[in-house]
């Protein structure tokens, strides 16, 4: 079984259109400027319905991670073990996104600087992914 792919809809479209163009896009409130992820139809801080995607820096840091050893995720059983990282984006405290990381799981540390990469799955879906920051300006 292949891995499940996102269902692109009116709530999340900006994220996936951004990724298709190799840009990391996160939804943000047009009123109070609060970042919202995963996207919602109204801002949880001010309830404004004026929310839209904005490109972010593409930088992040490891907030936590785990290394999967068990079967159960469709499309991933042949990749075991693999790491998934909880990435904190610098745009807002505890603004998290989830992804895989292109490094040996043994090298992962909390706070490790990351930068986004893009994994093209098909013409519609590109997944934002993560790798250790190279230090080079992006």
Partner 1 sequence: MSHPFRDRTAIVGVGHSPCSKTPTISPYLNTVRTLKQAIADAGLEPSDIDGVCALATGGEPSPLDMVQALGLPGVTWYGGGLGGGVGPGLVANAAMAVASGLCTTAIAYRTMAVPRPGDGTYNFFGPAKLGGAANFIQPYGHGVFMQYFAAWYQRKRKVFGVTDEQMGAYVTAMRDNATRNPHAVLGKPMTMDEYLACPYVAEPLRRFDCDMPVDVSGAVIVTTAERARDLRQKPVYISSVSTGTGPRPHMAFWHDYDQSAAHFAAKTIWKNAGMGPEDMDFGMIYDGFAPLVLYNLEEYGFVPKGEAGRFLGDGGHLRDGAFPLNPHGGNNSEGRSHAIGHMVEATQQLRGQAGARQLKKANTTFVNGGAIMLAGAVVLHN
Per CB under 8 A, 9 contacts partner 1: yes
Per CB under 8 A, 81 contacts partner 1: yes
Q: How far apart are CA 25 and CA 13, in angstroms?
A: 10
Eight-class DSSP state of 119: E
Pick from 82, 115, 77: nearest CA to 97: 115
Site size with partner 1, rule: CB under 8 A? 41
- Touching partner 1, residues 93-132 (CB under 8 A): 94, 96-100, 105, 109-110, 121, 125, 127
Within 8 A by CB and 6+ apart from 57, the residues are 24, 89, 90, 91, 138
SS3 46: coil
Per CB under 8 A, 78 contacts partner 1: no
SS3 28: strand
Least distance to partner 1 from the beta carbon of 137, Å? 27
Inter-residue contact 107 to 114 (CB < 8 Å): no
The piece of 27-35, 46-54, 89-97 that touches partner 1 (CB under 8 A) is: 89-97
Interface residue list for partner 1 (CB under 8 A): 3-7, 9, 12, 15, 37-38, 44, 63-70, 72-76, 79, 81-82, 84, 86, 94, 96-100, 105, 109-110, 121, 125, 127
């Amino acid at each position: 079984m292949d891995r499940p792919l996102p269902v692109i809809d009116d709530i999340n479209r900006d994220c996936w259109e951004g990724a298709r163009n190799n840009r990391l896009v996160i939804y943000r409130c047009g009123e109070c400027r609060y970042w919202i992820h995963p996207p919602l139809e109204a801002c949880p801080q001010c309830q404004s319905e004026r929310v839209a995607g904005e490109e972010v820096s593409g930088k992040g840091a490891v907030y936590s991670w785990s290394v999967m050893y068990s079967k159960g995720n469709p499309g991933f059983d042949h990749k075991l073990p693999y790491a998934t990282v909880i990435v904190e984006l610098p745009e807002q405290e505890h603004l998290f996104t989830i992804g895989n990381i292109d490094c040996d799981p043994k090298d992962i540390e909390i706070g490790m600087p990351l930068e986004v990469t893009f994994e093209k799955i098909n013409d519609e879906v590109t997944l934002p992914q993560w790798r250790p920051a190279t230090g080079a300006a992006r």
